[in-house]
Amino acid sequence: MIEAKGIRKSFGKMTAVDRLDATIQDGAVFGLIGTNGAGKSTFLRMVCGVLKPDEGTILVDGKPIYETPESKQKLFYISDEQYFFANATPLVMKRYYQSVYANFDGMRFLHLLEQFGLDGSRKINTFSKGMKKQLSVILGICANTKYLLCDETFDGLDPVMRQAVKSIFIKEIEERGMTPVVASHNLRELEDICDHVGLLHKGGILLSKDLEDMKLNIHKLQCVLKNMEDLESLKKKLDIMKIEQRGSLNTITVKGSVDYIERMITEYEPLFYELLPLSLEEIFISETEVAGYDIKNLIF
């Protein structure tokens, strides 16, 4: 488990991370959402021990990460802008990471290079952005670390490669309990892979919730009621977050169990109703609006 408690990091007069608390459980995909400049990269660099917090502590499995080689062996960091040695080839980087990570799987590295169609003897500086991202992911997977920290990893990958990378992540989670931490500014990229999502805003965690719990507890109710009086009465019985009206059609974002919501709505014998699942984007829009923020301005 990764625990961040009250961490703060400034660069001159700019505060990048401000009194941030976060807990990342083992064996789950943690998605970190935020705009560019929200502090995602700084947070990940502190988690992997590249940067030292000005205040607060970061523990990896109960031990400090900064200047602790034993803890650093458990993490692999894929930065947004990948760094490779000048004129290096994938095979050169393989030898380097084999010297750093005791459990690096060289045979699997060669196998994945072939699967991804990457030439191990070609200079990396001739690779496209997407190819460099693929190579970084392969190196991270083959390092066999417990935690894989990914900063905008899917940015630059084509749709087929995105699905391939997500499939590899899922396999690693199932087979050896790897815990990916994926930072992105794109909610849609994380919706089908994350178990827990945190929204980072101005250096702090605005929201941090289990995705499945959110999906089970927030719903979109569309209904046509017989009269306005029924709607006003319904408002008193449901935990309503938002209502939109278009003619006679009411679209209501509501908290609660499906059974309870259906029981309440059927009492009014509506002319029409249906319960629809919400996307991750819709869930966060609802949650942040309740907290007094407009996620459209925070993320998009």
How do residues 189-227 score in pLDDT, each as one tens digit? 777 788 888 888 777 777 787 877 777 788 899 999 998
pLDDT at residue 150, rounded to an integer? 92
pLDDT per position as a tens digit, 233-257: 999 999 998 899 999 999 999 988 8
Q: 40 or 92, which is more confident? A: 92
pLDDT at residue 57, rounded to an integer? 93
Q: Would you say residue 296 has pLDDT above 70?
A: no
The share of the chain scoring above pLDDT 90, in percent, equals 51
pLDDT, average across residues 14-40: 86
pLDDT at residue 165, rounded to an integer? 87
Rounded to the nearest 10°, the torsion over CA 31, 289, 237, 255 is -10
pLDDT at residue 224, rounded to an integer? 95
- Residue 287 and residue 210 in contact, taking contact as beta carbons nearer than 8 Å: no
Q: How far apart are CA 11 and CA 32, in angstroms?
A: 21
**Mean pLDDT rounded to a whole number for the chain:** 88
pLDDT at residue 295, rounded to an integer? 56
Residues 232-262 as b or e (16 or more Cβ within 10 Å = b): eebeeebeeeeeeeeeeebebbbbbeeeebe
Q: Would you say residue 112 has pLDDT above 70?
A: yes
Q: Would you say residue 289 has pLDDT above 70?
A: no
> pLDDT band for position 80 (50/70/90)?
confident
Q: 159 or 100, which is more confident? A: 100
Task: Judge if pTM exceeds 0.85.
Answer: no
